[in-house]
Structure 1
Amino acid sequence: MPLPLYLLAIAVFAMGTSEFMLAGLLPDIASDLDVTVGTAGTLTSAFAVGMVVGAPLVAALARNWPRRSSLLAFILTFAAAHAVGAITTSFPVLFATRVVAALANAGFLAVALTAAATLVSPDKKGRALAVLLSGTTVATIAGVPGGSVLGTVLGWRATFWAVAALCLPAALGIVQAIPAGRVQEEATGGPALQAELAQLTRPPLMLMMLLGALVNAATFGSFTFLAPVVTDTAGLGELWISVVLVLFGAGSFAGVTVAGRLSDQRPGLVIAVGGPLLLIGWPVLAVLANEPVALFTLVFVQGALSFALGSTLITRVLYEAAEAPTMAGSYATAALNVGAAIGPLIAATTLSTAVGSLGPLWASGLLVAITLLITFPFRTVVAAARSAEMFP
């Protein structure tokens, strides 16, 4: 694989780290900017909202944008947003930088997915996209916990500076190696934008997007507020937050890996097994969170189940949107980030209740229960295997 592809993957790693890193930084941000932890949690929602709006919008616009200059503009905007976030003392300004960074992230991914394929021969496009998107998976395992450690040792602002710095090698790679042509459909005569947008009127597609959003809401609702569970409920030191985040990230990697082998031909198995286990896991974690060994074990398990079920449902989105080849990825991204936006907002409302820092875990269990209740009447549709030939 060519070096520029790995430089683009570094950018995706930085962006993935940025999207997830606040889970370990919220207490410090809240204290520094004089807001509640629940209010600080809305920063995760701000990023998700930016991704929801930006993914389909930029995917539509980017068809005719110059590839090299677009990628460079997006990555530099992303870096600048983090630099501003690192120096601001205003929570509203920090909130605004999260929205701007998310829009830049959405734009970068929309263009990079096409650009990556142009860097290799036609028979290696799949590997190229896997390398590019591996940045997100690595972010959950290494970037987020690393950011948490950095934030604990040097303060949360250092993590924002680190994310901005990670963008610079990618920017250099873009200037030196990315073709300057425009982003266009690879196959001429593909569907018009209007026809691709019309796919959103199909009930099966909307069902898959809804289910994917609900599962991701459950995932982010608890993930965003894991830090208070570690320090307040389990009574552990701040450095243990990083350990918990590593375990959640390792679980997510395991879940995606296993589900990736099953979600094409046996999605029903993933949903039938993973759904009930995920539903049981959140309240069990809430009950046993004061026991460190149980906390560590269940965080790994819940990370695996959450990403296994979530990735399977998002795969269903891609299959149902097969007639929208240039917009399908944005539909999946929007579904994921709708969940990432509403999950922390719902979870934050539980922090002031009697259950305190455990509230998000109970809320996640409720969201998974709603997902399974909606799924049951449509289980044959959701679990139907699809042929890989459906993809253009």
Structure 2
Amino acid sequence: MPLALLALAIGAFGIGTTEFVIMGLLPEVAADFGVSIPTAGLLTTGYALGVVVGAPLLAILGSRVSRKRMLMLLMGLFVAGNLVSAVAPVFGVMLAGRVIASLAHGAFFGIGSIVAAGLVAPHKKAGAIAMMFTGLTVANVVGVPAGTFIGQSVGWRATFFIVAALGVLGLLGIAALVPADRREPARDGGSGTDLRRELAAFRNPQVLLAMAMTVLGFGGVFAAITYIAPMMTEAAGYADSSVTWLLVLFGVGMVIGNLIGGKFADRALMPMLYVALTALAVVLGTFTFTAYDKVAAAVAIPLIGAFGFATVPPLQKRVLDQTADAPTLASAVNIGAFNLGNAIAAWLGGMVISAGLGVTAPNWVGALLAASALVLAFWSAALERRGRAAGRAHGHRADAGTGRVVTGTASAKRAAAGRLSEQSLVQDGPVQDRLTGATAQDSSTGAPVQDSSVEAART
């Protein structure tokens, strides 16, 4: 494992801790500032919205900065936000600190995914992405319970000081271990071209479908987990003090699912999504009834975490595969899609409870969301097969890594030039065939296929 992945995982651990630890510290924060629990809950809502907004915004602003430097700047922003929260004299300042820290979240994971994938061989990309996200999942097992305990014992401000220190450690690790990268210059030398290339990725239906799967699939998880405390105390009969350890079980499931999802997504990405989303829908649907039994609930909670997070590496990799020539914005927006799904699912779960359908009703809402994501996965695969069939009918063939179709002429000529070295084939900008000067093209958009896509096609 490249040590740079460890640095990224440390940053992810700090971000995951600060995102979720506030849920265990809401009573202490509310009492300190003299606000109600619902008002203190804005610290969670504000963070989620900050992720959704900050992901594309900072990805665009950082489009002309090297990825390593951008990751360092994002960790600096994260540290600043947590320090503001730690010293906040009034609630409004605390909320501002949470939003500042959240702005770094989406862009960090989006850009970090690209960096992680670039550190390893092509057939190990999903595993590398999963390794970075391990920091986020381990935060739910170690960081959140430890941060909650420290906050309740010493004071909640101490927790945010410690999280800020984790951010500093992550920043130093990135500075020391992540290799420097050279951003490919825009063809006209202007940032406008970079932005147009990034935005053009959203014209790809496969990118939009992957993001929709992200919203619905992981949203299904949070429809249930957002209301796990009332479910476990009112339906299963657990004591309030047991909820923390049940959330640890959820975190353990997330760690396992993340690693399994990364491993098998590198072998068979779409089948991995089919299995994970199907299992998630089934577990959530049955949890509507098994939540009334202590043992069954304790088994279901880590399974929800495992199957839910098993979708993260394959979905993130699918977005990267489909945007190989301009992945930064799409990758960051997909991270924002996770948080958008969380917010929508939590709102829907609250609606069914308010409608008098019972405290376990959010589980079947989550099951429907996961099932909807599964339908989109099959639709996405069907479109991909149709594109490949159309490409073969016109003498074209699909890119092995992304399923995008490249022209048969360019494909044949690249095969004839296969004896040339990697350096002689791959140039900055479009890939040129040294024998003929032909340029490989995406048959659906007509855009030049970049070197990463053609490398996949040649294999």
**Shorter-normalised TM-score: what interval?**
0.7 to 0.9
Q: For residue 3 of structure 1, report the CA deviation from its aligned partner.
A: 6.9
Partner residue, 2:57: 57
Per-residue CA deviation, residues 57-109 of structure 1 (Å, 9 max, x unaligned), is 22232233377775555334323322333454755544433221111334545
Q: TM-score, normalised by structure 1?
A: 0.79
Q: 1:141·1:249 contact (CA, 8 Å) conserved in 2?
A: yes
- Between the aligned partners of 1:272 and 1:113, the Cα distance in structure 2 is 22
Give 2:201's aligned residue.
Answer: 199
Amino acid in structure 2 at the alignment position of 1:185: R
Q: Contact (CA 8 Å) 2:24, 2:148: kept in 1 or not?
A: yes
**8 Å CA contact 2:285, 2:367 repeated in 1:** yes
User: Which residue does 1:97 correspond to in 2?
Assistant: 97
Q: Matched residues in 1 for 2:300 and 2:349: separation?
A: 19
Distance in structure 2 (CA, Å) of the matches to 1:378 and 1:117? 23
Stretch moving more, 54-63 or 264-273? 264-273
How much has 1:16 moved relative to structure 2? 1.7
CA distance in 2 between partners of 1:177 and 1:377 (Å): 40
Kindly, what percent of the aligned residue pairs are identical?
34
The yes-or-no answer on 1:344 pairing with 2:346 is yes
1:67-146 to 2 correspondences below 5 Å:
71=71, 73-88=73-88, 92-109=92-109, 132-146=132-146
Distance 2:220 2:64 in 1: 37
Per-residue CA deviations over 1:120-143 (Å, capped at 9, x if unaligned) read 8999x9698766443223223322
Q: 1:305 aligns with which of 285, 304, 307?
A: 307
Indicate the residue corresponding to 2:400 in structure 1.
Answer: 387
- Structure ranking higher in helix proportion: 1
Supply the AA of the counterpart residue of 2:183. Answer: E
The residue number in structure 1 matching 2:396 is none
1:35 has 2:36 as partner: yes
Q: Give, as a single letter, the amino acid of the residue that structure 1 aligns with 2:292.
A: N
Conserved 8 A contact 1:12-1:135: yes
Equivalent in the alignment of 1:249: 251
Provide structure 2 residue ranges, at least 5 long, that are not aligned to the other structure. 389-398, 404-451, 454-459
Q: Work out the CA distance in 2 between the residues paired with 1:238 and 1:135.
A: 27
Corresponding residue for residue 365 of structure 2? 363
For residues 211 and 117 of structure 1, what CA distance do their matches in structure 2 show?
21
Greater shift in the superposed pair: 245-254 or 266-275: 266-275
Calculate the aligned-residue CA RMSD, in Å. Answer: 4.0
Contact 1:208 1:382 (8 Å CA) reproduced = no
Classify the secondary structure of the residue corresponding to 1:192: helix
Following TM superposition, by how much is the alpha carbon of 1:178 offset from its aligned partner in structure 2, in angstroms? 7.3
Q: Displacement, 1:279?
A: 1.8
TM-score, normalised via structure 2 length:
0.69
**Do the aligned partners of residues 289 and 156 (structure 1) sit closer, same or farther apart at CA in structure 2, a change above 3 Å counting?**
farther
Aligned length, in residue pairs: 388
Q: Residue 128 of structure 2 contacts residue 262 of structure 2 at CA under 8 Å; is this kept in 1?
A: no
Change (3 A) 1:226 1:158: farther
2:238 to 231, 236, 239: 236
SS in 2 for 1:327: helix
Counterpart of 2:137 in structure 1: which amino acid? Answer: T
CA displacement 1:288-319 (0-9 Å, x = unmatched): 22322111100011111112234433333222
Distance 2:306 2:80 in 1: 34
The aligned residue for residue 281 of structure 1 is: 283
In structure 2, what is the equivalent of residue 290 of structure 1? 292
CA 1:4–1:325: 2 relative to 1, 3 Å: closer
AA aligned to 2:227 is F
Aligned counterparts of 2:121 and 2:290: Cα–Cα separation in 1: 51
The equivalent of 1:266 in structure 2 is 268
SS state at 2:328 partner: coil
Q: What amino acid does structure 2 have at the position aligned with 1:84?
A: V
Q: For residues 353 and 104 of structure 1, do their structure 2 counterparts lie closer, same or farther at Cα, with a shift above 3 Å needed?
A: same
Structure 1 residues 372 and 178: alpha-carbon distance in aligned structure 2, compared to 1, 3 A threshold: closer
Asked if 2 retains the 8 angstrom alpha-carbon contact of 1:22 and 1:224, the reply is no
Q: What CA deviation, in whole Å up to 9, does each residue of 1:211-233 have, x standing for no partner? A: 11111212223223323333443
Shift in Å, 1:111: 6.0
Aligned counterpart, 2:13:
13
- Rg larger in structure: 2
1:185 is matched with 183
Instruction: Kindly indicate whether residue 320 of structure 2 is the aligned counterpart of residue 318 of structure 1.
Output: yes
**Cα separation, 1, equivalents of 2:133 and 2:312:** 16
User: In 2, are the aligned partners of 1:42 and 1:345 still within 8 Å (CA)?
Assistant: no
Tell me what 1:222 maps to: 224
CA contact (8 A) 1:44 1:341 kept: no
Q: 1:22 to 1:350 in 2, by over 3 A?
A: farther
Matching residue's letter, 1:16: G
Q: Structure 2: which amino acid aligns with 1:17?
A: T
TM-aligned CA deviation for residue 204 of structure 1? 2.1
Could you tell which deviates more after superposition, 288-297 or 17-26? 17-26
**AA paired with 1:51?**
V
Deviations 1:329-353 (A, max 9, x none): 2243232232133222333334434
Match of 2:424 in 1: none
Q: Do the aligned partners of 1:271 and 1:383 also contact (CA within 8 Å) in 2?
A: no
Moved more, 369-378 or 218-227: 369-378
For 1:14 and 1:374, how far apart are their aligned partners in 2? 33
The separation in 1 between residues aligned to 2:282 and 2:111, in whole angstroms, is 40
Distance of 1:276 and 1:83 partners within structure 2: 42
> CA separation of 1:208/1:69 partners in 2, compared to 1, >3 Å: closer, same or farther?
closer
Of structures 1 and 2, the one scoring higher in RCO (CA 8 A, sep 6+) is: 1
Q: Please report how far the alpha carbon of residue 236 of structure 1 lies from its aligned counterpart in structure 2 after TM superposition.
A: 2.8
Deviates more, 1:80-89 or 1:49-58: 80-89
